[in-house]
Structure 1
Amino acid sequence: MIRTPLRPLARILEARARGESPAAIERENLRLRHEQMRDAARDRAEGRLLMLGVMFFAAFLVVGVRMGSLAASEPSEPRAATSGAAIVAQRADIVDRNGNILATNLATHSLYAQPPNMIEPLRVARELVAIFPDLDEEKLVRDFTGKRKFLWIKKKISPEQMQRVHDIGDPGLMFGPREMRLYPNGPLAAHVLGGSGFGREGVSSAEVVGRAGVEKAFDSWLRDPANGGAPLRLSLDLSVQAAVERVLAGGMKLMNAKGAAAVLMDVQTGEVIALVSLPDFDPNERPRPLVKGDASDSPLFNRAVQGVYELGSTFKTFTIAQALDEGIVSPATMIDTKGPLVWGRHRIRDFHNYGPQLSVTDVLVESSNIGTARIAQRIGAERQRAFLEKLGLLEPTPLEIVEAASGKPLLPQNWSEISTMTISYGHGLSASPLHLAAAYATIANGGTRVRPTILAGPVAPGDRVISESTSRAVRSMLRQVVSRGTATFADVEGYAVGGKTGTADKPKPTGGYYKDKVIGTFASIFPADDPAYVLVVSLDEPEDRTGSEPRRTAGWTAAPVAGEIIRRAAPLLGLRPEIETAAGFGVTLAAN
């Protein structure tokens, strides 16, 4: 601003010349200067007030928007900052072949404490024990009043429990978000799913990892964000699985068995439709493994996959199938069954005396150990071993659960002639019920190798093991075993069941065999003329006590249980019963 002189010389000289006072000019100029200064100060003040008003308006606008967003959001607890790699908690669902949920995720919370922030630790400990009775009040008091700055109280709590903890109202109690694994069907298919637990944990998230079964076998896949949340689809049918479990549990109780297993498999693809091992467990509350004693006593033990047993006379089917396929015998070939069959110090006997000879068909139908052993002698050890290897009976099954690798068959150290003879009727070689189901599927489907799978989807055909004509002949024999042989209690009207019983003495841990404990097994196919499914049922130490004397053979124990399973499951599988019309029944066209 250019300042005007208060006493300009030109105006002073003019004023003196006119006789005026120069002081009036100075006063006027001073007044004008003060007015200019006042106007400038007012303009500055007005600008500052305007800017302050804009700033206050912007601040109130920000606060209002933030308050609105908080009011519209879900309430959450403060989260402590964590370092290190982020924890991936999201895990894909597991569904059955029809899309029914077998395993999914549930949003929940964990409860932890920060004792330095607690106001009333004694009251908090008392009220927490009222909510969670399994907690120790004295230990909580020690932790809350000691030097600890952080401790977990509960890894998973329900919404109701969370609200009750909220009502305690102490700032030292904190909640962390959790994603827990939920198995909505409880124990159903427990040994297939396996279960899960927490891996790496933080206060704001936890890593869910598989512990067993498909949860562990597909752990990386289930946690991979690249899959876009797509579920893992299994070959199981939930409704069929439930029916098989229910009937098998009832049969196990009726037959006074220690344990039981069942495998239902598609004969063409090897897809496992149902897989049951009893006793079972709830994967939502997976029990701890046994640290001592027999592993098979634990409910975690998968008898269908991990349990390797001598499966008895069910192996006779393989011996006869090989002999037929290699042209060694025909169904009508007569076999010497006079007993006992003596080989060195060993004596092979039959359960009953079947006379001096039986046809090959009747060797299977009547379940003659002597007849089967004589057929095996004609086959020889080398060819027998090669055939069983083609059936997959000499190696662990490729089923996609982690326990499958531990189900390794037990083979004789020296595959001698006597081993060949005993293995022919199911003694001297131990395999799992799953091995047996896959081998029977191979025999029944026309002779192509079946590899069991727990995943739904297309399966490439396997190598040929036996001819289609041999498969048809064996299916006919298996049907006769049920219709007139050792497995008549497995016959189901309308479904033409075929199968073979097997009763094997149970080995002692110290060597030798029990005289009054057996493994009873029934391997079946249905319908026998054009098989769609294989069912294997195995009972551990069964005993039918309805008669005057205990009956332990598979024909009395495993066979009727399998028959009831087929009766319940076949309609669920979409199989229509074949109803035979009575003689003379028909429709006659009457002419007008």
Structure 2
Amino acid sequence: MTRTPLRPLARILAARRAGENPDAIERANLAARHEADRDEQRQRAEGRLLVLGIVFLCAFFMVGMKMSVLAASDPAEPRALASGAQIVAARADITDRNGRILATNLTTHSLYAQPPQMIDPERSAHELAAIFPDLDADKLVKLFTGKRKFIWIKRRISPEQQQAVFDIGDPGLLFGPREMRLYPNGHLAAHILGGAGFGREGVTSAELIGVAGIERAMDETLSDPGRGDVPLRLSLDLTVQAAVERVLAGGMRLMNAKGAAAILMDAQNGEILAMASLPDFDPNDRPRPLVKGDPAESPLFNRAVQGVYELGSTFKVFAAAQAIEERLVSRSTWIDTKGPLTWGRHRIHDLYDHGPALTVEDVIVESSNIGTARIAMMIGPERQQDFLGRLGLFSPTQVELIEAPGAKPLLPKTWSEIHAMTISYGHGMSASPLHLATAYASLLNGGHEVKPTLLIQEAPVRGRQVVSENTSQQMREFLRQVVQRGTATLAEVPGYRVAGKTGTADKPKPQGGYYEDKVIATFAGVFPADDPRYVLVVTLDEPVETSGSEPRRTAGWTAVPVAAEVIRRAAPLLGLAPGVEPSAVEGVTLARN
């Protein structure tokens, strides 16, 4: 804005010539200038008031909108924001293949104390000790009367306990919301589920984390907020799992065994429908791990996955399969079984005298150590290693359990010819029952490699070819003969055409050598034999069958009857109807389910 001079020279000179007072011009110009300044300030003030009015109007509008939202929403307890990272407590459910709940979350509360707010610490301490017998009243009194301002009392309490604490009436006893992991089936599938516990904790929430089993192995997936309400669906069948565990527990008691394991697997895609290890535990009240001694003595030890054992004669079928696959023998080739077989200072014996020779088929049926060792000598150590490696017997299984990577098979430091001979009949090499089930599935399902899994497979899975279909079929026929006329006759379940192999291995001593009266007894097989759908492995630790005049420990008397009962109970649950065995008699046909 251009400002007018107070005493413009031209007007001053004109006023003097006209005899006027020049000061009047200055006063008039000064008054005009003041008037213009006042107008400008008034306009500026009016603009500011307008802006301020608009701001207040927007603020009132936003407050009104917020009040409307709060009025329309459900009431909730306000919570202070923590400075640290947010604790996410939500965790996805775990279900079986049919959607039945195996693990879920339950809303509960924690209990803590703020001593400065307590009215009668001593009375409250004794009342709490009466509600929770594991608490010491004197220790609580010391804590409540000390200098601490916050004390955890219980990180998880039941609704009944919460009400009892509430009835104490002390304002310094407070509750924090919690979500706990609940396993509604108790001991069922305990080693598979593992368990969960609290990670990071706050007063108002706690993080749920997996501590073992599939809860730990799939922790990231189960804790993913992006999953929403989508549960983790396992391959287990809860009904079959319950039947297997019940039969295994009864068989373990009947055979006086100290431990037992069983695996029921889909022979085509490796899905595990049931896996049991005894003794077990309740994941709702998971016991503490052993800090010293043998881990296998703990109920937390998963014998089906973590236990690596010499599995005895169940390995003999691998030697026969490789020899037939590589055209070294045929099923009718005669093998020298005269004993003992001497190699250096080592002598290999058979449990019974099988005569001077057996066919390859009868070496398996009669379970001849000598015959199997001679087949292994034809194969040689290097080719044997390659074949067993292709069956997955040299590396940990890939099953979705946190314990699986640590269960690596125990192999000899040097794989000499004598090692090849003893390993051919299951001595000198240790593997887990899950390794054995996987190898049997790959060998007997038509020769396609399978990988064990606890997750449901949405699409068909077909692995690489490890043996030909012809070799696989012959091995099924061999193992069917083992059940019909060999060492596993007690495994016969009418209508289900069971095929399998027994294995009895002396149990090694911790300090070296073997016990004379302790064994690991195993049965591994498939059913139905002509169209294998399922693989079953049952292992008993130190079984003794005492119904006869002398104790019997071999798998044919211990593991086999238990396996037969598992099949008898589980097969109908799996939808397998009994069928009629193929027969040479005219007029009799094969009826398949």
The TM-score bracket by the shorter chain reads 0.7 to 0.9
Which ranges in structure 2 are unaligned for 5 or more consecutive residues? 1-59
Contact 1:79-1:176 at 8 Å conserved across structures: no
1:340 equivalent in structure 2 = 340
2:30 equivalent in structure 1 = none
1:439 equivalent in structure 2 = 439
Q: Distance in 2 between matches of 1:149 and 1:303?
A: 47
The amino acid that maps onto 2:498 is V
SS in 1 for 2:322: helix
**Per-residue CA distance 1:284-316 (angstroms, 9 max, x = gap):** 111110011101000111100010000000000
The equivalences for 1:530-541 within 5 A come to 530-541=531-542
Contact 2:365-2:486 at 8 Å conserved across structures: yes
Q: Distance in 2 between matches of 1:72 and 1:239?
A: 41
2:503 equivalent in structure 1 = 502
**Per-residue CA distance 1:114-161 (angstroms, 9 max, x = gap):** 000000111111111121111110011111111111101111111111
The equivalences for 1:244-323 within 5 A come to 244-323=244-323
Q: By how many angstroms is 1:428 displaced?
A: 0.8
Contact 1:80-1:204 at 8 Å conserved across structures: no
Q: Distance in 2 between matches of 1:366 and 1:580?
A: 22
**Per-residue CA distance 1:490-533 (angstroms, 9 max, x = gap):** 11011010000000000000000000000000001000111100
Q: Distance in 2 between matches of 1:82 and 1:124?
A: 29
Q: By how many angstroms is 1:323 displaced?
A: 0.6
Contact 2:497-2:581 at 8 Å conserved across structures: no
Contact 1:80-1:203 at 8 Å conserved across structures: no
2:133 equivalent in structure 1 = 133
The amino acid that maps onto 2:162 is M
1:370 equivalent in structure 2 = 370
Q: By how many angstroms is 1:459 displaced?
A: 4.8
Q: Distance in 2 between matches of 1:114 and 1:580?
A: 74
The amino acid that maps onto 2:199 is G
Going from structure 1 to structure 2, the CA distance change for 1:136 and 1:355 (only over 3 Å counts) comes to same
1:483 equivalent in structure 2 = 484
Q: Distance in 1 between matches of 2:196 and 2:296?
A: 21
Q: Distance in 1 between matches of 2:92 and 2:582?
A: 51
Q: By how many angstroms is 1:217 displaced?
A: 0.7
Contact 2:313-2:503 at 8 Å conserved across structures: yes
Percent identity over the alignment is 69
The equivalences for 1:59-458 within 5 A come to 73=75, 82-457=82-457, 458=459
SS in 2 for 1:128: helix
Q: Distance in 1 between matches of 2:295 and 2:507?
A: 16
The amino acid that maps onto 1:506 is K
Q: By how many angstroms is 1:460 displaced?
A: 3.0
The amino acid that maps onto 1:455 is L
The amino acid that maps onto 2:430 is S
Contact 2:95-2:101 at 8 Å conserved across structures: yes
Q: By how many angstroms is 1:69 displaced?
A: 7.2
The amino acid that maps onto 1:479 is R
The answer to whether 1:523 aligns with 2:527 is: no
Q: Distance in 1 between matches of 2:169 and 2:586?
A: 84
1:550 equivalent in structure 2 = 551
Q: Distance in 2 between matches of 1:367 and 1:69?
A: 80
Q: Distance in 2 between matches of 1:551 and 1:382?
A: 37
1:18 equivalent in structure 2 = none
Which ranges in structure 1 are unaligned for 5 or more consecutive residues? 1-57, 588-592
TM-score normalised per structure 2 = 0.85
SS in 2 for 1:289: coil
**Per-residue CA distance 1:86-118 (angstroms, 9 max, x = gap):** 100000000111111010000000000000000
The amino acid that maps onto 1:319 is A
Q: Distance in 1 between matches of 2:261 and 2:233?
A: 23
SS in 2 for 1:268: coil
Q: By how many angstroms is 1:162 displaced?
A: 0.9
The amino acid that maps onto 1:441 is A
Q: Distance in 1 between matches of 2:299 and 2:329?
A: 45
**Per-residue CA distance 1:403-422 (angstroms, 9 max, x = gap):** 10011000110100000000
The amino acid that maps onto 2:213 is G
1:571 equivalent in structure 2 = 572
Contact 2:314-2:426 at 8 Å conserved across structures: yes
Number of paired residues? 522
Contact 1:108-1:157 at 8 Å conserved across structures: yes
Q: Distance in 2 between matches of 1:73 and 1:252?
A: 55
The amino acid that maps onto 1:534 is V
Q: Distance in 1 between matches of 2:248 and 2:130?
A: 41
**Per-residue CA distance 1:18-76 (angstroms, 9 max, x = gap):** xxxxxxxxxxxxxxxxxxxxxxxxxxxxxxxxxxxxxxxx9xxx9xx99x9799847x6
Q: Distance in 1 between matches of 2:587 and 2:534?
A: 32
Contact 1:79-1:203 at 8 Å conserved across structures: no
2:563 equivalent in structure 1 = 562
Going from structure 1 to structure 2, the CA distance change for 1:220 and 1:71 (only over 3 Å counts) comes to closer
SS in 2 for 1:176: strand
Q: Distance in 1 between matches of 2:582 and 2:294?
A: 53
The amino acid that maps onto 2:136 is D
